[in-house]
């Protein structure tokens, strides 16, 4: 009876989140499954309004934030959805059982939790619009057996759907580019600043060259 009650609580929580629209929608209408407030962050949490989506994105680490800036700058990327839920829960549980892996549970409890992928990204390619899934992890975490087990469940989940899945570590994030975009990000909307269209195009051209070709961040060159 205790086990049935726990499963009922888990299912009720999932239904509640789904009814709120979490893990659903695209662009400005997407609602992430987990918020900064509901999850303890091991790093620096952030809330940033996106250029592409015009909604507030939430990130649980500085590494996630920097990867977001890289995606914001990438022209082929048209949508960014963070903290994307791997549903139904029964599927990830089945995958864990198939691999002989313990499914993630709530801290200090045996209740299973809904797994998430850090980023699901819409990319415009020559072959058409595709979705890719990316998980952001510090490289040192990849030496931990438990981390690898959870990543294997995630990999198999996306493999079943024919979606490209991969791991992004700090080694794959161009830090100078990320910091340049971070510096520019608050100034993307220039309405009300008294800047003419021709001036804006000239500034955009100069800053674009600086971001793409510079060996130091724009903030460092500000003076």
CB proximity list for 154: less than 8 A, separation 6 or greater? 86, 115, 117, 133, 135, 165
Residue 223 has pLDDT above 60, yes or no: no
The CATH architecture to which 2-172 belongs is 3-Layer(aba) Sandwich (3.40)
Structure token pair of residue 212: 């793409």
- 16 to each of 11, 22, 86, 93, 196, how far by Cα in Å? 9, 9, 16, 20, 48
Residue pair 121/79 in contact (Cβ under 8 Å)? The answer is yes
Taking a C-beta distance cutoff of 8 angstroms, is the pair 115, 164 a contact?
Answer: no
Please say whether the beta carbons of 136 and 64 come within 8 A.
yes
Q: What is the pLDDT of residues 139-159, one digit of tens each?
A: 999 999 999 999 999 999 999
Give dist(CA 118, CA 5) in Å, integer: 30
What's the Rg (C-alpha) of the chain? Answer: 20
Quick: pLDDT tens for 155-187: 999 999 999 999 999 999 999 999 999 998 887
pLDDT digits (tens, 9 = 90+) for 108-128: 888 999 999 999 999 999 889
Residue limits of CATH 3.40.1350.10 in the chain: 2-172
Which structure tokens are listed for 207? 């800053």
For residue 135, the SS3 value is strand
This prediction has a pTM of 0.82
CA–chain centroid gap for 40, Å, is 16
């Amino acid at each position: 009876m205790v086990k049935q009650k726990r499963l009922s609580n888990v299912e009720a929580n999932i239904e509640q989140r789904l009814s709120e629209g979490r893990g659903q929608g695209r662009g400005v209408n997407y609602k992430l499954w987990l918020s900064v407030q509901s999850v303890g962050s091991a790093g620096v949490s952030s809330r940033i309004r996106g250029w592409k989506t015009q909604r507030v994105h939430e990130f649980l680490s500085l590494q996630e934030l920097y990867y977001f800036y890289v995606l914001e700058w990438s022209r082929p990327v048209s949508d960014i959805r963070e903290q994307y839920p791997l549903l139904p829960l029964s599927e990830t549980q089945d995958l864990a059982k198939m691999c002989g892996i313990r499914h993630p549970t709530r801290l200090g409890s045996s209740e299973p939790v809904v797994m998430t992928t850090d980023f699901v990204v819409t990319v415009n390619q020559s072959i058409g619009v595709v979705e890719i899934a990316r998980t952001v992890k510090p490289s040192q975490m990849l030496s931990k057996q438990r981390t690898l087990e959870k990543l294997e469940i995630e990999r198999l989940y996306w493999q079943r759907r024919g979606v490209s899945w991969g791991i992004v570590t700090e080694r794959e994030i161009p830090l100078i580019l990320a910091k340049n975009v971070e510096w520019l990000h608050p100034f993307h909307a220039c309405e009300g600043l008294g800047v003419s269209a021709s001036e804006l195009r000239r500034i955009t051209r100069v800053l674009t060259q600086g971001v793409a070709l510079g060996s130091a961040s724009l903030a460092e060159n500000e003076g």
